[in-house]
Amino acid sequence: MRFVFLWLCAILFSGVVYGESDRDSLKVRLGAPRLNLGDPVLLTDSIPGAFIERLDELYSKWYVSKLEEGNYVDSVYLTEMVTGPAVPDSVYLQRLDKLNSAIKLSYNDIVRNYIELYTVRRRAQVGTMLGLSSYYFPIFEEVLDRGGLPQELKYLPVIESALNPRAFSRAGACGLWQFMYGTGKMYKLEINSFIDERRDPVKSTEAAVCFLKDLYKIYEDWILVIAAYNCGPGNVNKAIRRSGSKKNYWDIYFHLPKETRGYVPAFIAAMYTFNYHKEHNIFPLENELPTMCDTIMISDALHFEQVAKLMDISVEQIRDLNPQYRSDIVPAGFGKSYALQVPYNHVGEFIDKQDTIFAYNRNTYFNDSDRTADPKNRFKKYAHAHAVPSNKAKLVYTVKSGDVIGKIAEKFNVRLSDLKYWNGMTRDRINIGQKLTVYVPHNKVDYYKSKVNAKYAGVAANAEVEAESLTEGEFFYYTIKRGENLWTIAKKYPGVSNRDIMKWNGLTDRSAKNLKPGQKLKIKI
């Protein structure tokens, strides 16, 4: 009897050990990741909270506001809380098999969790995405077909962006396909202050197709390609190495980043939900996107309001159809054209009115008056603002200790910009002993000469001021001060170099090095 009891304990213990070992090895047989009827649940990972948070974030940024406007069918609200009876695993398996997908659709407990997330907990989001899919899916399908890729890949933007072209992640990914800035540039997407082609449904899909093709060349397995699309090929390669060079997604599952573990199950769940939404009493929500659109090539700058004011179409709808334009402006011109999507029934109207549309309030939206072909003429346009006055006397002011250029301008009642222009200055920095040219009215010369001799910042200025006795091309004598050299002296006079001073004073390189304080130099102004 004792022997029988020990024998039974040994059997039970071995069963426990075997079960734990199975759990650690994913409980998935190689090449058979499906859940067969009667088998225990294979994978039990829960849905990461970050995924649900991200889904809610994508949904709330754009769609909730529209939902509050009442643009959707009332029946959806009735189905929001309808959960229905639990669906058996056998039904899920049967439905996935009927999809006849080119991409292998596995089923396990994790996939089931994501299916229930979409069909039970996030029914409103699914309804919104179903409505949007009628507009975006034909775009995806055409580009995928042209690239020879499986049509099932059109469900990737569902989990990437919730079909929101303006989606922007905390990591910096943007658009329907969530391209990072560097990856977008790598695949020739234009990104600047006016346009972000990561948000362009057509251009971003074309870039995604190229990216997916490159990934398939590496793995030759669409499930691994989908995983690599999310976390990058580097992380997938590391997972393969750590799993002992296994190339089955479920074999490398626990070696992948946590967020990527749910990515493939979410893809399978999204594909299931979009094909069997009616079975779960979920129906598409209405939206303002037209069923048919056409492309108009724009060759000159155009503002959305110019179109909206002269056509029966709102700015909001133009934005929804053209999310790639950041500032409601099509930045065309200078030989470069850009596409503008408009509802199909408005194409003829736009063609008929295009001259009027482009001309409408042109100067308000685009001020072309400053555009000139000749830079010299452009300079002349602004040169008058600081031009040297011909009817005023010129004073030469020597900067003293405590002087600030703004206070000097105030003292002579001139604009700071004028004072800097007259002296060829680009910065506000001035040096003690520096000569500044100032222009004042002829009848105020004596007034300003006396004014600059007043106390300044507690320090006696004793300013050296010369009246307009010197004219252009004449010489005056400069007294060298302690610590000065030809270079520092030349800096005080715009357009004067140290070689000019040497020439005017007959100095050689040797004699220029032996200048002494108190020595006078001729300077031509």
Annotated catalytic residues are: 160
402: left (phi over 0), alpha (psi -120 to 50) or beta: left
| Alpha-carbon gap, residue 311 to 373, rounded angstroms | 34
Spatial distance between the Cα atoms of 152 and 175, rounded to a whole number of angstroms: 19
Tokens of 130: 């179903």
d(CA 182, CA 348): 39
d(CA 225, CA 219): 7
The one-letter amino acid code at 67 reads L
Query: From CA 138, how far away is CA 145, in angstroms rounded?
Result: 10
Please name the residues in contact with 148: beta carbons below 8 A apart, sequence gap of 6 or more.
Answer: none
CA distance 177 to 166: 10
State the Cα–Cα distance between residues 196 and 28, nearest whole angstrom. 43
Determine phi and psi for 132, rounding to 5 degrees: -70, -30
H-only helix segments in 286-401: 304-310, 315-321, 347-359, 362-365, 375-383
**Which amino acid would we find at residue 382?**
Y
* Distances 444 to 273, 439, 447 between C-alpha atoms, Å: 86, 10, 5
Nearest residue to 95 (alpha-carbon basis) of 81, 115, 76: 115
Query: Residues with Cβ < 8 Å from 423, sequence gap 6 or more?
Result: 436, 437, 494
Chain centroid to CA 166: how far?
Answer: 11
Q: Is the dihedral of CA 127, 132, 134, 136 positive or negative?
A: negative
Q: Where are the alpha helices (DSSP H) in 220-346?
A: 222-231, 233-242, 258-261, 263-275, 304-310, 315-321
